Amino acid sequence: MEDGRFSLRATSTIHADVVVCGGGVAGAMAAVAAARAGASVVLVERYGFLGGNATAGAVAQFNSWQTANGRRVVGGLADEVVARLGRYGGAGEHATFVMSTGHRMDRVEYAPEVLKLVLDDMVQEAGVRPLLHASVLDVAVAGRQIEAVHVLTKSGVIALRARVLIDASGDIDALKRAGADFLELDDGEALQPATMMFRFGPIDFARFDALSKAEIAALARRGYDEGRLARAALHSSRDPFSDDGWFNISRLGIDATDAMALGAAEIEGRRQAWAAARYLRECVPGCEGGQLRAFGTQVGVRETRRILGDHVLTSAELLLPEQFPDAIAAGAYPIDIHPAAGGELRYEGLGDDHAYQIPYRSLIPVGFDNALVVGRGVSATHSAHAAIRVMTISMAVGQAAGVAAAIAAKQRAGVRAVPIQALRERLLGDGAKLA
């Protein structure tokens, strides 16, 4: 830095076994898992707190831990997150939730502000070095190796050098700057829209919860037809500390990697949320005394870039379900596509005991030997992504990637050289579910 101006040259260098770019729940679990497996870890996050869509996006519920008939398919670090939330009083119990489509799933409602504390605790106890208020600037590449990630901070540009990079940034910004290849949308497909979550209350939940599914659907349809709701839904979760609810009603059809479009979506999202809060107050039983109390820090983004990986996971494989020898996580969330326009969603349910697997190869970007991807950017088609994008599954995938990265760093080998059986045994020993 000269005369108060930033230099684009790195002013300092940090070395680690593993660098994780992105501190959402997938990245946080990857960082914790890698550190617990013996790796030195730096976790890069653009905000001053961790959690991504789970905190900044205020999603406020972890969905689909089990099949419809109750067989658990997600455990491990994700379970630990919920247990720690419970000790703070910041989460409800696992409870059955029936979607508007009729699909039954379990969910845990939680307080986003408390989740920030839980993730702080987990990364610090594991020995992870969190680098907050840091944004990826560029990436140095030599052949098939990521050599360094340069991040812009209040202290200037810092070079992060690691044996393994885990890109958990959601938009896969680090690997985009490294020149990675990404999957294209097929003809007729569009990116799933973003959502501005908002907090509303107080709510008389005795009356609100007494509404039948048909009554909720009719109220949602009326609001959409009258132009007061952006989507025909009144989907919400309850805040554990109050009589408030977090509502997922808005619909913002954008490419969130376009900076101008993203900014416009934040503004439009707040407008949609304000209009929706007014509709709740005027038209929905139990909501008459409520008001809008807070917006999410950012719009919640469902889909942007998806990496081209060694294996592209398809919806056909999820629906079969395909049994993968390198399975490192499982899920049971249905194929749930929110179209970019219109009030409805496209939904493809699963059988009562149906679960699917995510293969390790879908985390490995083609063209690189020391990188992994977790979160919504893993290698999957648009329709498969619509199932595996949820935060429970993302935490499971993050845990697997963290352990794999630690093994690769210890062996000083590429991520493809990680022994799959050893990886799976470590995950099972740590409480993860693989089928």
The residues near 229 (Cβ < 8 Å, ≥ 6 apart) are 220, 223, 249, 275, 276, 279, 343
The residues near 267 (Cβ < 8 Å, ≥ 6 apart) are none
Rounded CA gap, 201 and 28, in Å?
A: 30
Helix (H) or strand (E) holding 159: strand 156-167
Rounded CA gap, 96 and 93, in Å?
A: 10
Average pLDDT over residues 61-75: 94
pLDDT digits (tens, 9 = 90+) for 369-381: 999 999 999 999 9
Q: What is the pLDDT confidence band of residue 97, given thresholds at 50, 70 and 90?
A: confident
Q: What is the pLDDT confidence band of residue 101, given thresholds at 50, 70 and 90?
A: low
CA atoms within 13 A on the CB side of 320: 12
Residue length of the chain = 435
Residue 329 has pLDDT above 60, yes or no: yes
Residue 133 has pLDDT above 90, yes or no: yes
CA atoms within 13 A on the CB side of 348: 12
pLDDT, position 370: 98
Residue 105 has pLDDT above 80, yes or no: no
- The candidate with the shortest Cα–Cα distance to 405, out of 433, 363, 367, is 363
pLDDT, position 344: 63
CA angle in degrees (0–180, nearest 5) for 125-131-133: 130
Average pLDDT over residues 260-287: 98
Rounded CA gap, 42 and 19, in Å?
A: 5
Average pLDDT over residues 248-257: 95
Cis peptide bond prior to 321, omega within 30° of 0: yes
pLDDT digits (tens, 9 = 90+) for 44-65: 999 999 999 999 999 999 999 9
CB neighbour burial string for 390-404, b if at least 16 within 10 angstroms, e if fewer: bbbbbbbbbbbbbbb
Instruction: Indicate the average pLDDT of the chain.
Output: 94
Q: What is the pLDDT confidence band of residue 342, given thresholds at 50, 70 and 90?
A: low
Structure token digits, residue 379: 């290698």
Residue 104: CB atoms within 10 A of its CB come to 15
pLDDT digits (tens, 9 = 90+) for 284-301: 999 999 999 999 999 999
Residue 99 has pLDDT above 70, yes or no: no
Residue 8 has pLDDT above 80, yes or no: no
The answer to whether the beta carbons of residues 347 and 192 sit under 8 Å apart is no
Rounded CA gap, 34 and 13, in Å?
A: 21
Q: What is the pLDDT confidence band of residue 1, given thresholds at 50, 70 and 90?
A: very low
Residue 256 has pLDDT above 90, yes or no: yes
What domains can you pick out in the chain, each with its CATH number? 12-187+303-429 (3.50.50.60), 198-295 (no CATH)
The answer to whether the beta carbons of residues 27 and 166 sit under 8 Å apart is yes
Average pLDDT over residues 319-343: 89
pLDDT, position 388: 97
Angle 391-411/420-429 helices, nearest 10 degrees?
Answer: 130
Q: Determine which of 119-128, 218-227, 312-321, 338-347 has the lowest per-residue pLDDT on average.
A: 338-347
Residue 360 has pLDDT above 80, yes or no: yes
pTM equals 0.95
pLDDT, position 51: 98
Q: Is residue 302 classed exposed, middle or buried when 0-12, 13-18 and 19+ CB atoms within 10 A define those classes?
A: buried
Q: What is the pLDDT confidence band of residue 4, given thresholds at 50, 70 and 90?
A: low
Q: What is the pLDDT confidence band of residue 5, given thresholds at 50, 70 and 90?
A: low
